[in-house]
């Protein structure tokens, strides 16, 4: 029977590319989304992949949804923690709510999904968790203390949980994307984006499927010896 993979924030952008990649790798894929029902419907109509609506930052809602996916689709073998938001602003302008929302969704969502799915993976002796971090969690970014802290936290979370999963064939890894041409980056003002692209050695934004290929490897049998790692996929930007 095909293994079941859940991709949070799977209906748009990087998550959508990950869903399509994992399906073509032979997984039974389930996507999650927060509230954009039109995008979710278009995604499911196009791909035939079911989309479950829940807030990954809401511990109870996410726990209940994972239990429902377990019953309706099958035990969850792979979790890709991809759902993420930005609430940018310099520290002086950032509200506590902006801080908290980003921590709750971007970092809290990883905890909640792992809490719901890791025990079953451990019990069955196989699992893959891939957390989507960011180059801005590695290097920091002006106007993003909340986002950079949450993404940096993901990298620590990954290394800690990897140590708990290793003996049970449950690998836990992260991918740190650079700038990828999704809706999230479309929100960056054009002049700012031009400056960012100028700093990317390959001279362009990345594409969602370039992140999906990395996720695909980390979820494969071949990656059984890779755990606690962060794969940087950023056109060489991490060198600067």
Active site residues: 147
**Min CB(83)–ligand NDP separation in Å:** 4
Query: Which residue, 166 or 192, is less far from ligand NDP as judged by CB?
Result: 192
Q: Which residue, among 88, 93, 81, has the nearest Cα to 18 in the 3D structure? A: 81
Beta carbons of 98 and 146 less than 8 angstroms apart: yes
Phi then psi for 28, rounded to 5 degrees?
-85, 120
Q: How far does Cα 178 stand from its chain's mean position?
A: 13
**Min CB(105)–ligand NDP separation in Å:** 4
Residues in the chain: 240
| Alpha helices for the chain (secondary structure H) | 13-24, 37-47, 59-72, 96-102, 108-124, 135-139, 145-165, 183-186, 190-198, 208-218
R_g of the chain, CA atoms, integer Å: 17
Q: Which residue, among 175, 208, 187, 205, has the nearest Cα to 16 in the 3D structure? A: 208
Beta carbons of 11 and 112 less than 8 angstroms apart: no
**Min CB(165)–ligand NDP separation in Å:** 21
SS3 state at 86 = coil
Query: Which residue, 100 or 169, is less far from ligand NDP as judged by CB?
Result: 100
Query: Which residue, 23 or 122, is less far from ligand NDP as judged by CB?
Result: 23
Query: Which residue, 4 or 56, is less far from ligand NDP as judged by CB?
Result: 56
Phi then psi for 219, rounded to 5 degrees?
-90, -5
Beta carbons of 73 and 120 less than 8 angstroms apart: no
Binding site for ligand NDP (CB under 6 A): 8-9, 11-15, 32-36, 39, 55-57, 82-85, 105, 132, 134, 177, 179-180, 182-185
Query: Which residue, 36 or 169, is less far from ligand NDP as judged by CB?
Result: 36
Q: Which residue, among 16, 9, 5, 11, has the nearest Cα to 209 in the 3D structure? A: 16
SS3 state at 190 = helix
């Amino acid at each position: 029977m095909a293994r079941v993979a859940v991709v949070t924030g799977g209906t748009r952008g990087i998550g959508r590319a990950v869903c399509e990649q994992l399906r073509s790798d032979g997984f039974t894929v389930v996507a999650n989304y927060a509230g954009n029902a039109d995008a979710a419907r278009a995604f499911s109509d196009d791909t035939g992949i079911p989309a479950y609506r829940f807030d990954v930052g809401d511990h109870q809602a996410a726990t209940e949804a994972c239990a429902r996916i377990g019953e309706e689709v099958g035990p969850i073998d792979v979790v890709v923690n991809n759902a993420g938001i930005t609430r940018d602003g310099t520290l002086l302008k950032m509200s506590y709510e902006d801080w908290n929302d980003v921590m709750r969704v971007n970092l809290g969502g990883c905890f909640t999904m792992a809490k719901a799915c890791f025990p079953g993976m451990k019990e069955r002796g196989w699992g893959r968790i891939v957390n989507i971090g960011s180059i801005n969690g590695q290097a920091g970014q002006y106007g993003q203390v909340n986002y950079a802290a949450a993404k940096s936290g993901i990298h620590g979370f990954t290394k800690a949980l990897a140590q708990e999963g290793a003996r049970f064939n449950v690998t836990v890894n992260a991918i740190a994307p650079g700038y990828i041409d999704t809706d999230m980056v479309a929100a960056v003002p054009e002049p700012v984006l031009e400056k960012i692209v100028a700093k990317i050695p390959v001279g362009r934004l990345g594409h969602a499927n370039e992140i999906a290929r990395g996720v695909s490897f980390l979820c494969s049998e071949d990656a059984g010896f890779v755990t606690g790692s962060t794969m940087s996929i950023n056109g060489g930007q991490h060198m600067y």
